[in-house]
Amino acid sequence: METKTQRKKSNVEVKILAVNNLNKYAKQFFEYERAHFLQFLGQSIFKVDGSVKAKYEHERQSYKGQLPDGTWIDAHYWLTSSYGYFDIHIKICVNGGTYDVKPNTAFCQYEELALSMFKIEDGKLVDSPADISPLDIQYNIADLQEAAKGIEEAKKIYETAKEKLPYRFHDVFWVEKLTR
């Protein structure tokens, strides 16, 4: 495979890339697993240790591949049952650049997400509607920069207002330090 020359991605670009791909694969994996387990509603599909009984298991999805810009993606998941919920945990790693040839282009970012697929009542699988619409969001740097700018402006207004209240009264009025 041809090696691609990469420019250095900023921390924000890497984070956006990781979160957007996490959302994409989380939705895909969630829908796949939920569709499989829907057929077992009302049944006891778990062993004593909380894992899924062998007869209810099936092939899991995962993704390992490369984006057009040379970035590698590794997405996988696992299932857990605890505290009355049957959950899916999705983890993604995006990495790229080269540590050997040009170390300043190298990056690696992990992101993880847990979603509840079903409730568990009396050891049995119970349907529990899940809102996964936030996974449809694909972030971009311009919108996030605009939101951060709004936070900075609000911070200045907050600091100006906070100066009017003597320090000794901050705890009485629950005034917290919102800046670092």
Residue type at 96 in one-letter notation: G
**Structure confidence at residue 177 (pLDDT):** 64
pLDDT of residue 1: 47
User: What is the per-residue pLDDT for 2?
Assistant: 47
Number of CB atoms found within 10 A of residue 148's CB = 11
Strand, coil or helix: 47: coil
The Cα–Cα gap between 14 and 111 comes to 11
Instruction: Write down the pLDDT at residue 170.
Output: 81
Inter-residue contact 55 to 43 (CB < 8 Å): no
Q: Are 27 and 35 in contact (CB under 8 A)?
A: no
Say what the pLDDT of residue 13 is. 94
Q: Residue 97: what pLDDT?
A: 77
* Residue reference for tokens 């049944």: 43
Report pLDDT for 105.
Answer: 79
The ranges assigned to domains in the chain are 11-138, 140-180
**pLDDT at residue 4 in the model:** 54
**Residue-by-residue pLDDT tens, the chain, 180 positions:** 445 555 788 899 999 999 999 999 999 999 999 999 999 999 999 999 999 999 999 999 999 999 998 899 999 999 999 999 999 999 999 998 777 666 777 899 999 999 999 999 999 999 998 899 999 999 999 999 999 999 999 988 988 888 888 888 888 887 776 555
Using left for φ > 0, alpha for ψ between -120 and 50, and beta otherwise, residue 174 falls in left
Rounded to whole angstroms, how far apart are CA atoms 151 and 147?
6
Report d(CA 45, CA 159) in Å as an integer.
Answer: 55
